[in-house]
Amino acid sequence: MAASSISGSAMAAFKSAGIAPHSGDLKLTNFRQCSLTSGRVRSVQLRHSLNSNRGSRSFFSSSGIEFLPSLELFGARIGICIDPSIYLYDFLYIMQTLPLLNKQVSKQLKVCVAAPVVVVTGASRGIGKAIALTLGKSRLQGQGYLTAHWASQRCCLVLGPVLVNYARSSKEAEEVCKEIETCGGQALLFGGDVSKEADVELMIKTAVDAWGTVDILINNAGITRDGLLMRMKTSQWQDVIDLNLTGVFLCTQQAAAKIMMKKKKGRIINIASVVGLVGNVGQANYSAAKAGVIGLTKTVAKEYASRNINVNAVAPGFIASDMTAKLGGDIEKKILETIPLGRYGQPEEIAGLVEFLALNPASSYITGQVLTIDGGMVM
């Protein structure tokens, strides 16, 4: 149950402040309990200092991604917003002491932790589909400890909500959403062209209206209009630049500048290509667009690093797709000869790397990088 969907007679919000690394100090301020019907608010100041040697501190959040835990009481529900800099141990201590505020409900507690909100563009097929499914099925880091610790309190973990964007393949996108929901996740379908500013604004607004924020943006949407430069029409060039490069700019601007920067947290992963690094015959437009994405990635990473927003690019090589399946034997043989590992990559392999960059705490110190995943083509 995501906090954004909470309904009931009460809602509480915690905001943490003054947590110094390794100091063991946790200060909670501005506890607010408000009636959703009357709108009346009562404020209480809470402060507590945790001894740093009281136990192991593992990250509750994915270092910069905000999670929205919520409490469900019989007859009423309470939502809690906890800053992601709080460690898991601190979170558990808060949950242990919270019932003291209301002894009558201390035995009726249910903890639900919601995962970060994800937007994936071009998510109906191929790499985008694999990324949406992987992130939609991913559970929070540290779930085993949290579940075991709170088994007696009926703890549950909510799979991450994913907005699945598509431009034309509506049926395929619907299937992606259904698969996410079948696994217990939350998915939202959005049809729109990310090369158009109005569509991008509406897409981000749709995610925010549904779930309250955007934590992770995956810029994957793209097209090809191949042809030798001497024969390439201006429309072929412009179509690819508009979607593959301008679309990344528009989505990043909407998510980073208007949402992530204010929260001072977020992760953006742009799907580039190895041709953006080395070029490719017959793909002047595509190579230029992907090279632009790489340059944009590095610039945005520098501009928003102070806001705790990580921005990276993934550059796939030849990935198995409907297009590669139609290649003739001779062409395929020549392609595979250029790949040291001797095979195509799989969409799920790209999705695994994206999942690491998006959700894993170990990736929190990575920004402005281009990670090639190409079987050794570019080295």
Residues 290 and 272: beta-carbon distance below 8 Å:
yes
What is the separation, in whole angstroms, between the first and last Cα of the chain? 45
Tokens of 290: 């992907």
320 marked as binding residue: no
Q: How many CA atoms lie within 13 A of 110 on its CB side?
A: 14
Q: Please tell me what DSSP assigns to residue 122.
A: S
Note if 286 is an active site residue. Answer: yes
319 marked as binding residue: yes
Picking from 111, 117, 77, 76, the residue whose alpha carbon sits closest to that of residue 94 is 111
Any idea which residue has 């749709």 for tokens? 206
Q: Please tell me what DSSP assigns to residue 292.
A: H
125 marked as binding residue: yes
219 marked as binding residue: no
5 marked as binding residue: no
256 marked as binding residue: no
7 marked as binding residue: no
Picking from 115, 15, 26, the residue whose alpha carbon sits closest to that of residue 69 is 115
196 marked as binding residue: no
220 marked as binding residue: yes
Residues 112 and 4: beta-carbon distance below 8 Å:
no
Residues 180 and 187: beta-carbon distance below 8 Å:
yes
Give backbone dihedrals phi and psi of 97, rounded to 5 degrees, phi first. Answer: -90, -20
Angle at 196 between CA 194 and CA 202, to 5 degrees: 75
Residues 285 and 276: beta-carbon distance below 8 Å:
no
Catalytic residue among 286, 304, 344, 365: 286
154 marked as binding residue: no
Q: Please tell me what DSSP assigns to residue 26.
A: E
124 marked as binding residue: yes
Q: Round to whole Å and give the CA distance between 211 and 139.
A: 17
The DSSP code sequence of 43-112 is EE---EE--TTSS---BSSSSS---EEEEEETTEEEE----TTSBHHHHHHHHHHGGGG-GGGTTS--EE
Residues 207 and 251: beta-carbon distance below 8 Å:
no
Q: Round to whole Å and give the CA distance between 60 and 80.
A: 14
- Give catalytic residue positions: 286
Residue ranges of the annotated binding site for NADP(+) are: 122-125, 220, 286-290, 319
Residue ranges of the annotated binding site are: 122-125, 220, 286-290, 319
